[in-house]
């Protein structure tokens, strides 16, 4: 039986094997071009696997007031919440290949499959951990701390080591960054300039950021060493 390549990739990465009973009836492969919203069935939560590309999970607080709940990259698994007090949409940041599944139906299909459940739980734990760090940032950090936190959080996810420095090729705009960390584009821009002046980062073009001084950035981010 023939699978689309993205679903194969999803199965081997998420289930550690090529077959999950009933998955073909659920999974749908979608190509989405940059800046386009991922089309979803809106009857409940949706699970999206990013076979390639990058996306932002956006919550609408009001017209012209959006909060980026998460950025996700190739290989990531995202759950998009269903109906609730606020509407969530997934928007591609670059041309992307995605596998889309209704979350409830998937959960039911893998109900007695501990390996897949464990994988989903790992993924959810990681997302929760990142979301808590984001909440901390949004609630109790200054603008300059937020930018440093943001860059440090991106480093392990999309950073490439470049000598002693780390190179980030950010697929999101200043507006997306601002919507993610609760600032305006102007404030984001000013803070980037300040970090550049402090020699903590270097920039190249619109999207490339070079993290020059990680300890300095961690200090700026207000990272507290866990005292234990």
Partner DNA sequence: CGTACAATTGAGGTACTTCAACTTCCGTGG
Partner DNA sequence: CCACGGAAGTTGAAGTACCTCAATTGTACG
Q: Which residues bind DNA (CB under 7 A)?
A: 142-144, 173-175, 182-190, 192-193, 203, 205-207
CA angle 56, 83, 123 (to 5 degrees): 50
Stretch that binds a second copy, among 14-22, 90-98, 115-123, 202-210 (CB under 8 A): 115-123
221 binding a second copy? (CB under 8 A): yes
Look-up: residue for tokens 């993610």?
180
- Binding track over 148-187 against a second copy, x by CB under 8 A: -x--x--------------------------xxxx-----
Q: What gap in Å lies between CA 130 and CA 62, rounded to an integer?
A: 24
By CB under 8 A, name the one of 52, 67, 173, 198 that touches a second copy.
Answer: 67
Largest CA distance in the chain: 58
Our CA angle for 63, 67, 69, nearest 5°, is: 145
- Whichever of 142 and 193 has its CB closer to a second copy, that residue is 142
What is each CA distance from 215 to 129, 133, 219, 223, in whole angstroms?
22, 19, 6, 10
207 in Cβ contact with 167 (< 8 Å): no
Q: Which residues bind a second copy (CB under 8 A)?
A: 42, 45, 59-62, 65-67, 69-70, 79, 81-88, 107, 111-114, 117-118, 120-121, 124-125, 127-129, 131-136, 138-141, 149, 152, 179-182, 218, 221-224, 226-228
């Amino acid at each position: 039986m023939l699978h689309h390549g993205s679903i194969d990739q999803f199965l081997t990465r998420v289930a550690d094997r090529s077959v999950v009973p009933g998955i073909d009836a659920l999974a749908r492969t979608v190509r989405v071009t940059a800046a386009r919203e991922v089309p979803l069935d809106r009857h409940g939560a949706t699970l999206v696997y990013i076979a390639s590309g990058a996306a932002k999970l956006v919550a609408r607080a009001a017209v012209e007031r959006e909060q980026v709940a998460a950025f996700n990259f190739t290989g990531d698994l995202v759950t998009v919440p269903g109906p609730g007090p606020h509407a969530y949409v997934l928007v591609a940041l670059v041309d992307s290949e995605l596998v889309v599944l209704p979350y409830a139906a998937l959960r039911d299909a893998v109900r007695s499959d501990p390996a897949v459940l464990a994988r989903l739980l790992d993924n959810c734990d990681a997302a929760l951990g990142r979301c808590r760090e984001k909440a901390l940032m949004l609630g109790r950090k200054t603008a300059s701390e937020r930018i440093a936190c943001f860059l440090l959080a991106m480093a392990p996810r999309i950073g490439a080591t470049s000598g002693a420095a780390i190179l980030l090729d950010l697929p999101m705009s200043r507006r997306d960054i601002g919507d993610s960390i609760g600032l305006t584009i102007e404030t984001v821009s000013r803070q980037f300039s300040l970090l550049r002046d402090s020699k903590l980062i270097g920039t190249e073009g619109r999207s490339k950021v070079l993290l020059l001084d990680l300890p300095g950035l961690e200090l700026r981010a207000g990272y507290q060493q866990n005292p234990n």
